[in-house]
Structure 1
């Protein structure tokens, strides 16, 4: 590999970690702030659409960001990547290797809670602005 390609792969790796982690945090918390509620509804809906609709062809829970990041990591020589991006993040940040089924279950529960909250604040809020 030439030096520029290695630098690009390192940049892409960190870029994916930052962007994907930010999107995950936004998907969990973006419903809370009035200014981001509509954007949150879009991003959480697209996330579930990816997991379910794209999952028909690529496997349940498919995320293109994870797929692209895995391609970058494989080019960097990283192997043995988990199925779950959340498992990967937990292991990368803390060094903990939590059971994949537990991480997947918690991910789904928290994402579903965020979706419910987004629907609630966007469509069923007690204080509607006129």
Structure 2
């Protein structure tokens, strides 16, 4: 099997797993701290690296696109979520819908992660006041 095919599937599995973890990792007690790190790094990539590379920049998407280009795949969307929906489910919603939904759901997961990670500390600070 060609190394590009292996790299394609490895990135597909890893990146999709990371996305699912970023959406749901705040739910498990044992994963909450790691979730906060992971989603914070994701948002930092989107907004800080995004200053230089464009809003929503993700190095994993960049690497995956490079692999796919080497495999001859062209006309890739701007959004990895759009790519996933098309590749896995065969659907292609409007780009704006995907971008707005992705941002809102990710910010909601980030806020939930902050809440579950810091709610005890917030209660203690509130009691001290």
Give the TM-score normalised by the residue count of structure 2.
Answer: 0.92
Task: Give the unaligned 5+ runs of structure 1.
Answer: none
Residue ranges of structure 2 left out of the alignment (5+ in a row): 124-129
**Offset of 1:9 from its aligned partner?**
0.3
Q: How many residues align?
A: 122
Q: How does 1:71-90 map to 2 (within 5 A)?
A: 71-90=66-85
TM-score (norm 1): 0.91
Greater share of helix: 2
The DSSP-based 3-state class of the residue aligned with 1:114 is helix
The equivalent residue for 1:20 is 15
Hey, what's the Cα distance between the residues in 2 that align with 1:121 and 1:94? 32
Which contiguous aligned blocks of 4+ residues in structure 1 show a shift greater than 4 angstroms? none
SS in 2 for 1:78: coil
CA distance in 1, matches of 2:95, 2:4: 26
The equivalences for 1:72-111 within 5 A come to 72-111=67-106
Separation of aligned partners in 1, 2:87 and 2:95: 14
CA distance in 1, matches of 2:120, 2:74: 46
Q: 1:110 & 1:125 partners in 2: Cα distance?
A: 24
What's the Cα RMSD here?
Answer: 1.3
Which of 51, 54, 59 is the aligned partner of 2:54?
A: 59
